[in-house]
Amino acid sequence: MLVMRYDDAVASLFQGPLAQFVAERKRLAGELKAAGDKDAAARLAKLARPPISAWVVDQLWWYARAAFEALFETAQQLRDGKLEAMAAHRDAIARLRGEATKILADAEHGATEATLRRVTQTLAALAAAGDWAPDLPGALSADRDPPGFEAIGISNLIEPPAAPAGKPDAKPEPAAPRVDDGGPGAHDRGGAAKPHDDSHRTAERAGASDELGQRREAVEAARRRELEAQAARAEAAAELRRAETERAKAAAERQRLEAALRTARGDVTQREREVTRLERDLAQARTMVEQARAAVEGLEERLAQLDR
């Protein structure tokens, strides 16, 4: 009989209907406790019932895995500086949002704009992090908040803010100096009009351009630093996942060997019992042979007496 494990119980719990979450949590905790894993039962019993938006994201992991893996893959490409993956990342988000709408409708929950917005924000947070830690995959108990634009702009790829009218991020061009032909200062002391001077305006434009360039360079520098930090965090998370995978493999191999050892020991015990039984039967058979020989000898002796 298979023994219930904590990870299996969590996966079963978060794949089920939201309305049955509490009852299912109690049932699975009882199974873990009955299996002798009281610590796992206590951990499972503490898992909170997720809001509808987090529950939908969990369902996307279990039932729209291909789109979810595309989300993580394109997010990793963006973290690697491959901005050409931006369109594919948007498509992955759009597909997951569409699947979320279907799941909500099938479960008879309202697919409101507020719920879908929380879903996309949680997807953005998971994409930026590159994994589900500290939760198990597909087992969110709460929504996640996405990072700011410094985290390679992933959150902004989902619901970009509306740009103001005109050129975004552009510094307003300084107004040209007003020249009033009849006003004071419009003529020099000799009464002649001052020539139109464009040099001042050109200098102001050049200064504004330099300032805008410096701002952009600062933003790009911050973006590069964040990309490097994201890459380091992703690598650390990947290394942790690899270590956990190796530990899980080692634990599984240990369980397999222990099961094989128990089976082998059982076979030895059974064979020893069989040998004991056979030895007992052999002893009885030898006794019967000796008795038969004695009977034969007695009969032969009586026949010999009759022949005399």
Across 104-108, average pLDDT: 93
Task: Kindly report, residue by residue over 183-224, the tens digit of the pLDDT.
Answer: 444 444 344 444 445 555 556 666 666 666 677 777 666 667
pLDDT at 94 over 80: yes
Report d(CA 132, CA 2) in Å as an integer: 27
Q: What is the DSSP letter of 34?
A: H
Q: Which residue has the higher pLDDT, 186 or 105?
A: 105
Which of 33-37, 120-124, 196-200, 207-211 is predicted with the least confidence, judged by mean pLDDT? Answer: 196-200
Tell me what percent of the residues of the chain surpass a pLDDT of 70: 61
Which of 114-123, 137-146, 188-197, 266-275 is predicted with the least confidence, judged by mean pLDDT? Answer: 188-197
Residue with tokens 């917005």: 117
b/e code 46-70 from CB counts within 10 Å (16+ = b) = ebeebbbbbbbbbbbbeebeebbeb
Provide the pLDDT for residue 80: 93
Provide the pLDDT for residue 192: 42
Across 53-70, average pLDDT: 97
Provide the pLDDT for residue 163: 38
DSSP 42-92: HHHHTPPPPPHHHHHHHHHHHH-HHHHHHHHHHHHHHHTT-GGGHHHHHHH
pLDDT at 61 over 80: yes
pLDDT at 239 over 70: no
pLDDT at 103 over 70: yes
How is residue 158 written in tokens? Answer: 């989902």
pLDDT at 16 over 80: yes
Task: Report pTM.
Answer: 0.51
Question: Would you tell me how many other CB atoms lie within 10 Å of the CB of residue 284?
Answer: 10
